[in-house]
Structure 1
Amino acid sequence: MDAATLTYDTLRFGEFEDFPETSDPVWILGKEFNALTERDDILSDVTSRLWFTYRKNFQPIGGTGPTSDTGWGCMLRCGQMILGQALVCRHLGRDWRWDKGQRQRDAYVSLLNAFIDKKDSCYSIHQIGEHHQPRLLINVMDQKLAMFDRWSRQVVHVAMDNTVVIEDISDGCACPGWTTGGACADPGGASALNGCMEGAGAMVEEEGPLWRPLVLLIPLRLGLTDINEAYIETLKQCFMLPQSLGVIGGKPNSAHYFIGYVGEELIYLDPHTTQPSVEPSDDGQVHDDTYHCQHPPCRMHICELDPSIAAGFFCKTEDEFDDWCMRIRRLSCNRGSLPMFELVESQPSHMVSVDVLNLTPDFPDSDRLERFFDSEDEEFEILSL
């Protein structure tokens, strides 16, 4: 089985096309590049994204469970990638670049350790696997963040019913428990997990308004069986926003993490490569080459995209969120294209109030999130209710 997997992956790595030479602008997570003069910069930016793929030979999930997620974990890996990008923006900045073979910053090491495939890693497949299936992806990751990640202090907000409610986000990101230095009181019962606690003390030194960084996820359906072409320009515009975290989507039974576009092609990172698990050294350093995609990124025509997607955005400050709202309002005024979602000041009367930040598997609306984020490969679909 392992030999077959290695042979398959070797073939896959030989199939990647070089990046196209085109005069069309290249947009990657809010950054514009020229494919003719900035090819190396494009590849450096793509390589610097965290790339989470299938892994094998890790510790059995739950002690007796699977030791590989090949064939069922692609949605989970895409969820890790979009959350990983949010954490990179939070702690390293959007312009941070990964240099192969160089000793990395402590913040990067802590961040990567949070995703290592071990039970004591905050966002590992083992942590999510404790729920028997890697379902309720965003809900579970948010629970782990709230319980363990005293370092990041991020809020994960899932906008239901194609509607982003500004009032709900403002209330969720407000942090009245912050000290004058800017750190929230520790959540009750929190315990140290790998990659989540090392930087906690540094938070006390931060200055800033009483606002917790926001990870905004918007599940959408942009058509019935195929993407409605009226949404295509709006989708492209989302990759141009400086707050962009990209899009989770793909084709039926195959999830991808989309990070940008060029012309009529989407640029994405593909989790469908099985790599050996990685064990950190005693000092926490990680042999991280396999966590960065070092070949030209994958591309697909935008019309091939399954209409069920989830768009992500990161706003570190309240000013960044206000700027995002302004840009979204401008997008909604574009002629010839349809807005993908609605932005409103307060919750419409027809919407049911859902405290996304406090969902549990027993909460009735967690069933709705499960329908959005069922990470079983053979059943992958994100539905907009």
Structure 2
Amino acid sequence: KTISAHSSSRNKGTSVFFTSNLFQNTKGRLYNAIRDPSGPTKFSTAKEITFLGLTIASHTKHKEKRVVTTHSQELFGFMKFFYSQIWLTYRSGFPYLLNTKISSDMGWGCLIRALQMMIARALLDYLAGRNAFPVNNQIYTKIIFHFLDRADAENVLSIHNVMEEAKYFNLKPGDWFDPSRTCMIFRNLVKKTKTEFPCRIHISTDSTIKQEVIEAEAQFQDEQQENPDSPLTFHPMIILLPARIGIGTIPEYFHEQLKYCLSLPFTIGIVGGKKDAAIYFVGYQGDDMIYLDPHHVHSASEIRKKTFHCKYPRTMHITAVDPSIIIGFMVKTKTELE
């Protein structure tokens, strides 16, 4: 059989790609083995858990205060809601980003993944209803599709589309992404997309929610209405507040305010964490902040449902949280905004 030079070159390129993927997947498994904490997180039966606007009591027949793990029956109510959240993490083995040989965001894409999780939560609230349980698998599939690691325009907030837009902010694959620019990248992608996306994104750059500005952005004339004088339709809005609320650590007087944000019915969580290590906060118990961690590597080719749901909530004491954060809310109607 005669193989053309073009065919040989193509086969060589394919071989290099698969070899690179094998290497990345091996690195990912090693990363997970080193990075992942061992054992379930401990919680107290004496304190309520606040989870994305819900207050959940630890159900126990015992009167004494106890420390339990996430395997315990007392935490079933909390765990069913936690597991229902969409978990977006590092991926390896996806098509190369831009004109690079980078096929994984391991080690640098955590803020992108954490913000993806926040937006996914907003879509879950909109499509399934706040704190709905259980959620139809078709809804999960519809939401996750927006974040799949592909360069297709239909995958609106994929890491490939994020990197394409990031060029306009002087950012490239492997760079450190700051909260403000990352929020703007996501907003621009949603604004530019021709794909149906159910929500718009508003960024409060001065950490202040201005109702009249958001209302103006959210209202639009429904094209199906023949009468131009018909009332304007309100587009569901994701409100992002990137902020720095301290130097080095978050001042104590902000602790209760931060937790209060997570108790509101319109919350979609907080992106924060430690310096250069972003995570997604979804609740708290006492002064322990509960989070989903994007620092776990999955294969990009593995898109089974279980890789998008986390079995193990983690906690971080509020005094350890870096002051650079993104607070998120989602309002579906003008009444909710008011």
In the superposition, the TM-score normalised over structure 1's length comes to 0.69
Q: Using the alignment, how far apart are the partners of 1:319 and 1:114 within structure 2?
A: 28
SS at match of 2:233: coil
The reply to whether residue 234 of structure 1 matches residue 266 of structure 2 is no
SS at match of 1:81: helix
1:287 maps to a residue whose letter is: R
Q: Cα distance, 1:61 vs. partner?
A: 1.2
Find the counterpart in structure 2 of residue 111 from structure 1: 143
Find the counterpart in structure 1 of residue 52 from structure 2: 29
Find the counterpart in structure 2 of residue 335 from structure 1: none
Q: Using the alignment, how far apart are the partners of 2:116 and 2:194 within structure 1?
A: 15
Find the counterpart in structure 2 of residue 126 from structure 1: 160
Q: Cα distance, 1:98 vs. partner?
A: 5.7
Gapped runs of 5+ residues in structure 1?
182-207, 280-285, 323-385
Find the counterpart in structure 2 of residue 254 from structure 1: 277
Identity of aligned residues (%): 31
Q: Cα distance, 1:62 vs. partner?
A: 2.1
Q: Cα distance, 1:275 vs. partner?
A: 1.1
SS at match of 2:106: coil
Which moves more between the two structures, 13-22 or 35-44?
Answer: 13-22
Find the counterpart in structure 2 of residue 3 from structure 1: 26
Q: Which has the higher contact order (CA 8 A, sep 6+)?
A: 1
Find the counterpart in structure 2 of residue 310 from structure 1: 326
Q: Using the alignment, how far apart are the partners of 1:84 and 1:9 within structure 2?
A: 23
Q: Using the alignment, how far apart are the partners of 1:267 and 1:302 within structure 2?
A: 10
Within a 5 Å distance, the mapping from 1:1-385 to structure 2 comes to 2-10=25-33, 12-13=35-36, 15-37=38-60, 39-62=75-98, 64-97=100-133, 104-105=137-138, 107-120=139-152, 121-130=155-164, 131-132=166-167, 133=172, 135=177, 136-148=181-193, 150-180=195-225, 210-278=233-301, 286-295=303-312, 297-322=313-338
Specify whether residues 213 and 149 from structure 1 end up closer, same or farther in structure 2 by C-alpha distance, changes over 3 A only: farther
Q: Using the alignment, how far apart are the partners of 2:126 and 2:335 within structure 1?
A: 15
Q: Using the alignment, how far apart are the partners of 2:297 and 2:307 within structure 1?
A: 10
Q: Cα distance, 1:156 vs. partner?
A: 0.8
The answer (yes or no) to whether the contact 1:23–1:36 under 8 Å persists in 2 is no
Q: Using the alignment, how far apart are the partners of 1:245 and 1:28 within structure 2?
A: 10
The answer (yes or no) to whether the contact 1:57–1:67 under 8 Å persists in 2 is yes
Q: For each residue in 1:174-204, what CA deviation from the matched residue of structure 2 results, as whole angstroms up to 9, or x when unmatched?
A: 11244349xxxxxxxxxxxxxxxxxxxxxxx
Find the counterpart in structure 1 of residue 7 from structure 2: none
Q: Cα distance, 1:160 vs. partner?
A: 1.6
The answer (yes or no) to whether the contact 1:246–1:259 under 8 Å persists in 2 is yes
Q: Using the alignment, how far apart are the partners of 2:30 and 2:311 within structure 1?
A: 18
1:171 maps to a residue whose letter is: A
Q: Using the alignment, how far apart are the partners of 2:157 and 2:208 within structure 1?
A: 27
SS at match of 1:61: coil
Q: Using the alignment, how far apart are the partners of 1:301 and 1:84 within structure 2?
A: 25
2:311 maps to a residue whose letter is: Q
Gapped runs of 5+ residues in structure 2?
1-22, 61-73
Which moves more between the two structures, 12-21 or 231-240?
Answer: 12-21
Q: What is the aligned residue count?
A: 285
Specify whether residues 241 and 254 from structure 1 end up closer, same or farther in structure 2 by C-alpha distance, changes over 3 A only: same
Q: Using the alignment, how far apart are the partners of 1:94 and 1:178 within structure 2?
A: 28
Q: Using the alignment, how far apart are the partners of 1:5 and 1:65 within structure 2?
A: 16
Q: Using the alignment, how far apart are the partners of 2:131 and 2:159 within structure 1?
A: 28
The answer (yes or no) to whether the contact 1:173–1:211 under 8 Å persists in 2 is yes
Find the counterpart in structure 2 of residue 339 from structure 1: none
Q: Cα distance, 1:40 vs. partner?
A: 1.2
Q: Using the alignment, how far apart are the partners of 2:277 and 2:91 within structure 1?
A: 16
Find the counterpart in structure 2 of residue 197 from structure 1: none
Q: Quick check: which has more Rg, 1 or 2?
A: 2
The answer (yes or no) to whether the contact 2:41–2:315 under 8 Å persists in 1 is no
Specify whether residues 82 and 309 from structure 1 end up closer, same or farther in structure 2 by C-alpha distance, changes over 3 A only: same
Q: Using the alignment, how far apart are the partners of 1:114 and 1:148 within structure 2?
A: 11
Find the counterpart in structure 1 of residue 12 from structure 2: none
In the superposition, the TM-score normalised over structure 2's length comes to 0.78
Q: Using the alignment, how far apart are the partners of 2:117 and 2:237 within structure 1?
A: 16
Q: Cα distance, 1:5 vs. partner?
A: 3.2
Specify whether residues 312 and 149 from structure 1 end up closer, same or farther in structure 2 by C-alpha distance, changes over 3 A only: farther
Q: Cα distance, 1:89 vs. partner?
A: 1.1
